[in-house]
Structure 1
């Protein structure tokens, strides 16, 4: 899919826009690049147009476009204006949660619905921030280069390391239960990941907007066994957002898009978007 670069008032932003029908804005999570697809691209075959915006520090999107979720929400509005899109249904994944919330709260006339998929609703823990600064700061290119090389030769080892950060289950047993398609999903996700300057920015992005001021319907999809975004984020969202439904995904990790209930996640997303 060909990407477009837009020179906004705050800097260059990369996006893709494809399909016809009601517009869905996709904000991917941490480490995700233009090539990372967690299944959402199929929305264009379900009658939606899909606007995917690379967040600050990822791909060619400049850090200056969003040093806070609120600032990046303003940048997104410039993209919508450029494309003559009046309103969007927003999907915010994982680390994109704060931006999704900022967009819904500060620009209610431009957002009709918000889906939070294993998405952050409160600040990162300090221990997570410190680890991220070491791994995904100045050394991130070397770290990802080594991981991707190892992935080719020792895929199980690298996938196990990844999963250990994402599940409360035993990572080895988790891997053994995966179908070949689910293993391919994780492999492809890793192979297309790159932090750039984005994840260093993500860890300092936090929800400073008042969730109780969200005026649109919200769907939160979370797993009880998610280690990286604990279920407390779902409970916080439910307790504060006025019109919020939490769909508890029976998934064994942060990766709610795979596993035995992946089809239920897809169906729930479609049902909410189509209301």
Structure 2
């Protein structure tokens, strides 16, 4: 995929901008790289242009562009100005939740609506922070290299520990329920993942004041998500009473696969197609 590096006032930002039609800004979640696609690239074929900006610490985007969600939201505005984009619809995935909220709260004239997909709106718990510091700090390159080797020769051994962190269901039962396409989705996701310095930075993010968000908001969450618990959806609704919460019938954090995947896709399009 062809990417662009923009030298902003705070450092280098990597982005891609493809398609034609109303612009949609995609902010990927934790561990996701330029090559990680959770189905959103297909928005191009639905008549949208897709602007994907790598967050600080991921790909070639430098940490100096925004160590806080608010600071990176300001940098995003520089990218929009560079591309002569007035307003965007924003999709924030998982750990990108705080950035999407900061963008909508601090720059309401540039955001048309905000879609939060299994997105974090509560602080990380201390246990998660401690575990992540061990796995995705200085050792993160070795961790991902080892996982990809395991994925190549013993895929189930690589996938099982991951899904155990993503579902409240029994991990073995969850694996057994996966279709071949769902299994391929997970393997592709793992094969393209890399934390860089991004995920450790994500863990330090505070949650912006959600009550300042005045644009339409849709949150899509699963009650069986272990990594981003459904309490995030409840807090979002209590902070923004007018937002819509869609409870996805998914068995894990991965709301983009499984029996309700088609509904997630249709719900996303319905929200983005609003006038």
Q: TM-score, normalised by structure 1?
A: 0.99
What is the match of residue 272 of structure 1?
Answer: 271
Moved over 4 A (4+): none
Report the CA distance between 1:206 and its aligned residue. Answer: 2.1
Cα drift, residue 242 of structure 1: 4.4
**Number of aligned residue pairs:** 274
How much does 1:243 deviate?
2.7
Correspondence for 1:173: 173
Q: 2 CA distance for matches of 1:243 and 1:21?
A: 28
Aligned partner of residue 222 in structure 1, secondary structure: strand
Match of 1:20 in 2: 20
Distance 1:263 1:219 in 2: 17
Aligned CA RMSD, in angstroms, stands at: 0.5
- SS of residue matched to 2:114: strand
Could you tell me how far apart the structure 2 residues matched to 1:26 and 1:171 are?
A: 29
Tell me how far apart the structure 2 counterparts of residues 236 and 18 of structure 1 sit (CA, whole Å). 34
Give the structure 1 partner of residue 128 of structure 2: 128
* Distance (Å, rounded) in 2 between the aligned partners of 1:4 and 1:210: 32
Of residues 235-244 and 197-206 in structure 1, the stretch that sits farther from structure 2 once superposed is: 235-244
Q: Which residue of the partner structure matches residue 256 of structure 1?
A: 255
TM-superposed deviation, 1:75: 0.3
Structure 1 spans left out of the alignment, 5+ residues: none
Partner Cα separation in structure 2 for residue 177 and residue 230 of structure 1: 21
What does residue 55 of structure 1 align with?
55
What's the counterpart of residue 214 of structure 1? 213
2:132 counterpart of 1:108: no
* Cα distance in 1 between the residues matched to 2:47 and 2:116: 21
- TM-score using structure 2 length: 0.99
Runs of at least 5 residues in structure 2 that lack an aligned partner in the other structure: none
Report the 3-state secondary structure (helix = DSSP H, G, I; strand = E; otherwise coil) of the residue aligned with 2:225. Answer: coil
